[in-house]
Amino acid sequence: MMNIALPVNGLQHNSKKIDHLIGDNSYVRLNLERYKSLTQREKQIIILIAQGKGSNQISDELFISIHTVNNHRKSIVHKVGDRSLLKLVKFAEAFGLI
């Protein structure tokens, strides 16, 4: 159960915020199992991808081989179900990774 108190003078703006929160909640519910299937390392790599880092940079930062990074990226795409960077960032944001 969620209670929200809003000032009346900003009702239209607050209505948009509520719609956004409800949309985010629906997105999270639809994708929760995908999120739960990710390993800690995959979540870590999603964060770095969302920061705009490439495989070489991720490899250097995490002290793992480029091949390992690319394997994690493939696994992430498979689990999340999309190759789009924008959708991956949305996914990371919805689950509080970024």
Q: Where does 10-94 sit in CATH, by number? A: 3.40.50.2300
Nearest to 27 by CA among 98, 87, 97: 87
pLDDT class for 56, splitting at 50, 70, 90?
A: very high
Q: Kindly tell me if the per-residue pLDDT of 40 is higher than 80.
A: yes
Q: Cα dist. 51→10, 11, 67, 80 in Å?
A: 34, 34, 20, 18
Q: Kindly tell me if the per-residue pLDDT of 11 is higher than 90.
A: no
* String of DSSP letters for the chain: -------GGGHHHHHHHHHHHHHHHHHHHHHHHHHHHS-HHHHHHHHHHHTT--HHHHHHHHT--HHHHHHHHHHHHHHH----HHHHHHHHHHTT--
pLDDT in tens, 22-32: 556 788 888 89
Q: Kindly tell me if the per-residue pLDDT of 38 is higher than 80.
A: yes
Mean pLDDT (the chain) is: 84
Contact between 61 and 67 (Cβ < 8 Å)? no
Cα–Cα distance for residue pair 55/68, rounded to 1 Å: 9
pLDDT class for 71, splitting at 50, 70, 90?
A: very high
pLDDT at 8: 56
pLDDT at 16: 57
Average pLDDT over residues 41-57: 96
